Amino acid sequence: MKAAFEQVPDMARRVLPLAMGAVLVALLYVKARSLDWGLVAEAFYDIPMWRWVGAAVASGLSFWAIAQYDVIAHRHFRTRLPEGHARLSSAAAIAVGQTTGFGPAVGAALRWRLMPVLGHAMVLRITAFVTLCFFVAWGLLAATVAVPVLAGVPWAALLAFPVGAFALAALMLRYPRMSLMGKRIDLPSLPALGHLVALAACDLIFAGLALHLLLPPELAPPLWSLIAAFTLALGAGMIGGTPGGVGPFELALVTLLPGTATAHLAAALIAFRVVYYALPCILGASYAFLARPDRIAPPSEREAPLFGARAEHPIAAQNDSFALTASGAEACLLRSPQSLTLFLGPTRGHLSTLLPALKREARQQNRLPCLYKLTAQDAAEARRAGWHVVPFAVEATLDAQAFTLDGPERRQLRRFLRKAETAGVTCGPITNPDWERMMEIHCAWEDMHGQERGLTMGRFCPLYLRDKPMFGAWLNGELVAFISAVQGTEGLSLDLMRHLPDLPQGVMHALIHAMILDARASNIKEVSLAALPHPTLPKRLADCAGLTRFKSSFAPAWRPLYIGAPNPAALALTALDIRIAILNPAPLERTTMDLWELDALIDDAIAPIVETPELREAS
């Protein structure tokens, strides 16, 4: 009994739309009985042929627009299937689904029939994406455009739509992902959102135009009023749950357009059902039955290059990254919610060779292309290719082979090193990491400074750090601070810095000094102390005086770094997106094997793990 009671809310949620639809169908039947169906038939046959053709063309354009939703969905999920096939499969699925009812279920079945290579799970994701995104786009247009037009204040739409679109975009920019039942769901990017809303608008405009063409000119309401009424009536039809929205759609349309409940409107609605529902359903079902299913698996992404001239390339291993190749050139790409970022310039070849491929790849993933942490040479090459490039950071670099503590420019450094030495601090390489102690230091650091940053900055993880150079500071025989570095073919770069609170002055200076001395002993020429915001940036973004003083005590050479995008608007959005991704990085993804290896590291039981078929499948 208790189980049956618990099922009531779910049953009510499923049955209520159908019950509402049945009630509205009954109400429509009552209205339809008052019509002279002889006049309806006469009005139907009086529709000129050119209006039938125009309505069919408008319906085709409407279906073209809505079929693009699947293209955007395939880009979102990176299926890499041919866009033409995705578009035709979408049109067939939507045409049959909207006519027969239970659109998502029917649409998913037809998509799986036409694209079995995707598998059931991906087909369901694409169907859910298309359905939910259309509801969001329709809701935005209905609330901010259709309602003001029908209320007699169309000018209000000029204010309501930008405000509503901006609010939705800001929300999705700030919260680009959500969690549902323990699984991360990536929301559409802002470029995808813009396309989705524009496509929904085209769909509604051309569908409304098709209905308008089927009405006699002397009885048809103004086109924009009809499109607005059609938009709201379509929502009623979708919520009603009846096949094709029959009943709720017609009743809502008659209610929203008072005085139009005539035989001519009934004839136009029947003709609209023929042109917009029956004919596309027949064509879509025929295509689904006759088309050859796509069974060829698309190519997979190549692993990102984690080693190159620039030392920071290994950081990409902690991110959603992959390789971009073109004509012998290669680079590492980082995915963030709005951007596809070419990180650190090419690992081989020339940047100009990669730029067209970067634009294509970004478009294929509903993202904006971006260049991040470019050197001055690569920045000049990007400018020559027409990209908008600006300095955004300065990198502190040292020549480890020529480094010395002498000179007035390093007097502050000498003072801090003496303080650390007086306090009894000793520094050197970490050869046998105590991961448990390092985790304690990391947690204490986060308690002081907040969540660690990510994307282009390394994050604390023993699996990531185990093959990186690490240096520790000990006080009274106990580890109290540590740093890590990443290495490339041309040098070493500072990565993580973690320490306990209330340490003697000079501990972190001593750690950096130990890293420089070790680089000199290893014949490494360049050591980077990482980057700071460019001084030309607004003070709110460049306010890091303490870190600037710390790095300046080593008297480094300051090298500008650049960020670039195809145009200023894209540059502003990608820069904001990268900043958000750095401050609020996505959780680190780990496979079952990763978790086992992590436990082995922390337990100091680094024994070989035999990979079983079950373990490979879980990974």
Secondary structure (DSSP) of 540-562: HHH--HHHHHHHHTT-PEEEEEE
Residue 573 has a CB neighbour count (10 Å cut-off) of: 20
pLDDT tens column, 369-425 = 999 999 999 999 999 999 999 999 999 999 999 999 988 999 999 999 999 999 999
Q: How many whole angstroms separate alpha carbon 241 and alpha carbon 248?
A: 9
CB 20 within 8 A of CB 245: no
Of 139-143, 324-328, 521-525, 605-609, the range with the lowest mean pLDDT is 605-609
**Is 50 exceeded by the pLDDT of residue 8?**
no
How many Å from the N-terminal Cα to the C-terminal Cα in the chain? 42
Judged against a pLDDT cut of 60, whether residue 257 lies above it is answered with yes
Q: Which residues sit opposite 498 in a β-bridge? A: 482
- Least confident range of 57-61, 159-163, 236-240, 571-575: 236-240
Q: What is the CA radius of gyration of the chain?
A: 31
Number of Cβ within 10 Å of residue 269's Cβ equals 20
Q: Which pLDDT belongs to residue 262?
A: 73
Tally Cβ neighbours within 10 Å of residue 71: 18
Using 50, 70 and 90 to split pLDDT, how confident is the model at 539? low
Give the C-alpha separation, 75 to 295, whole Å: 18
In this prediction, residue 426 has a pLDDT band, given cuts at 50, 70 and 90, of very high
- The answer to whether the beta carbons of residues 229 and 204 sit under 8 Å apart is no
Q: What is the pLDDT of residues 92-127, one digit of tens each?
A: 898 888 888 777 888 888 888 888 888 888 999 999
Structural tokens at position 403: 């480094």
Q: Is residue 3 over pLDDT 70?
A: no
Q: Which residues contact 439 (CB under 8 A, 6 or more apart)?
A: 460, 602
| C-alpha pair distances (Å), 9 with each of 15, 22, 110, 498 | 10, 20, 30, 51
pLDDT value, residue 543 = 61
Beta strand segments in 58-174, E:
none
Per-residue model confidence as pLDDT tens digits over 552-597: 999 999 999 999 999 999 999 999 999 999 998 888 877 777 777 7
User: 588: which 2 tokens?
Assistant: 């680190």
pLDDT (average), residues 256-260? 68
**Contact at 8 Å (CB) between 343 and 334?**
yes
Provide the strand spans (E) within 327-458.
329-335, 339-348, 368-374, 388-399, 425-429
Supply the pTM of this predicted model.
Answer: 0.84
Query: What confidence score (pLDDT) does residue 241 get?
Result: 63
Question: How far is it, in rounded angstroms, from Cα 70 to Cα 85?
Answer: 10
Share of the chain above pLDDT 90, in %: 52
> For residue 619, is pLDDT > 50?
no
Q: Which two tokens stand for residue 534?
A: 């460019």
CA angle, residues 314, 317, 322, in degrees to nearest 5:
105
Q: Are 513 and 481 in contact (CB under 8 A)?
A: no
How much is the pLDDT for 440?
93
Gap between the Cα atoms of 362 and 190, Å rounded: 13
How large is the average pLDDT for residues 59-87?
92
Here the tokens at position 114 are: 């036409």
Q: DSSP characters for 271-284?
A: HHIIIIIIHHHHHH
For residue 178 the two structure tokens come to 């959500």
Strand partners, 526: 399, 491
Cβ partners under 8 Å of residue 407, min gap 6: 555
- Copy the structure tokens of residue 353: 């060779």
Alpha helices in 435-538 (DSSP H): 435-449, 462-465, 507-521
